[in-house]
Amino acid sequence: MSTRSLFFGLLLAWSLASWGCSCPCNDPCGQDVSQQGMDERSGADPDGSSISDNASTEDRTGSGDSVADTAADAADTGIGDAQQDLAGPDGSADGNPSEDQIGDGAAGTDAASDIADALEDPGSPDAAVDTTPDVPDLEPDLPPWPPAIEVEFLPTPEEDKNKGLNSNVYLAAIGHPTPEEEDGFVEAIHPAAVAMKKTYGVPACAIGGMAIVEAGYGFTRTGWLANNLFGLKYWNQTNPSGAGTGLELYQLRGQPDEAWDGSVKVLVSYGPDKKIFDEDPRYDNRYFVFPDYDACVEYLVVDRFMGKTLYPFVLQYQQRLKEGWTVKDAAIQFLFEIAAPPVPGLIYDPYGNDEYYLVTHVNDKGKVVYGGGGYNQNGGTYYSQVIGSIMKEWGLFAWDKE
């Protein structure tokens, strides 16, 4: 080789060695180095697997990082699934299919698939946070019933000779019921009334209306102290206290005379409605004590409505419904009949055939009328109007459609 050729060969070799790589990365080709802004994410595990430092993807900037950024973002977002793969129940490492990859696609795509899973199904195991919205409680916040409070009643003459009145015994406790307490009471008796309607075919709306009126939403003395919502009495002249019967009774001391037979003696009189009575021998103011409202409602229906005196009116009520009467009209007529005076009254079949007969008579205006059940001393017209009004106010007729 000539000297000239040797000189040009050496010059070419030196030029190539000093030229280097001109690709856009500005790094020597073939070397694994950290990219600008990668926070040294390429640190290798002894087994060669990549380890993420969980840093925010927002710090990855600069040219040439788009592929690395996309992969790192997916890895960061799928933290929950990546952790399952690294130490999952099947013991597989990332890149091998594990149990949570079923339906995600090919192995090695857990992170991206988990993002979609979490968005489509926030309650899935792949979601790191349960994003299921809380469903608001649509039921009103009603107080427990009866409420655990102390109440005070207006005095009787026996309790306060100056301010006491006999008629105060029928009134509700001072300051009660509040609107919230009224709601609580109606809700408390609703289930029992509907249950009796379904079992015995009696009007649930009438039961509700009677309880509201007669117990003052549970705040009369008998309602509050005896759970007696309907003025259900124990009548026994020979044993007024119920001694030896095992019955628990509450005596409404100071109650106006409801015996009307001269048996109630007045010890002291301070004027009209201001009398102190001889209470021990009285039989007209003893009331049954019930453990709860349900027991009281059941007693009303089973012992009174289904008893010999009032059962004919239950049959009348049921027959009217079959004939096309509305619940409203049939229930109000039922209330009228059970409270109407008993004369001429009802006759129960004396031969034991369990048949009831409504005895009729023609009044002085030539109209055929039925004897009533005598349930309320004020009569059928008064009782049906008062109870009917409260049934309408509370929309209790809907109870009989349940």
Report the distance separating Cα 375 and Cα 380, nearest Å: 9
pLDDT-based confidence at 129, cuts 50/70/90? low
Q: What is the pLDDT of residue 355?
A: 62
Question: What is the per-residue pLDDT across 29-78, written as a single tens digit (0 to 9) for each?
Answer: 433 433 333 333 334 444 444 444 434 333 333 334 444 444 444 444 44
Hey, which of 22-26, 35-39, 371-375 has the most confident mean pLDDT?
Answer: 371-375
Length of the chain in terms of residues written: 402
Whether 111 and 200 map to the same domain: the answer is: no
Residue 68 domain-assigned (yes or no): no
Residue 214 domain-assigned (yes or no): yes
Whether 172 and 100 map to the same domain: the answer is: no
Residue 146 domain-assigned (yes or no): no
Residue 5 domain-assigned (yes or no): no
Whether 300 and 371 map to the same domain: the answer is: yes
Predicted model pTM: 0.63
Split into its structural domains, the chain has a count of 2
Whether 283 and 371 map to the same domain: the answer is: yes
Whether 319 and 366 map to the same domain: the answer is: yes
Q: Among 85, 112, 130, which residue terminates a domain?
A: 130
The stretch 184-195 carries a mean pLDDT of 98
Whether 269 and 339 map to the same domain: the answer is: yes
Whether 293 and 366 map to the same domain: the answer is: yes
Whether 113 and 197 map to the same domain: the answer is: no
Residue 7 domain-assigned (yes or no): no
Q: Which of 172, 171, 212 is nearest to 190 (CA)?
A: 212
Whether 289 and 365 map to the same domain: the answer is: yes
Whether 172 and 121 map to the same domain: the answer is: no
**Percentage above 70 pLDDT, the chain:** 59
**Percentage above 90 pLDDT, the chain:** 53
Q: What is the pLDDT of residue 227?
A: 97
Q: Is the pLDDT of residue 93 over 90?
A: no
Whether 173 and 105 map to the same domain: the answer is: no
Question: What is the per-residue pLDDT across 268-310, written as a single tens digit (0 to 9) for each?
Answer: 999 999 999 999 999 999 999 999 999 999 999 999 999 988 9
What is the CATH classification number for the domain harbouring 246? 1.10.530.10
Whether 223 and 314 map to the same domain: the answer is: yes
Residue 66 domain-assigned (yes or no): no
Q: What is the domain extent for residue 118? A: 77-130
Q: How far apart are the first and last CA of the chain?
A: 115
Q: What is the pLDDT of residue 209?
A: 98
Residue 184 domain-assigned (yes or no): yes
Residue 69 domain-assigned (yes or no): no
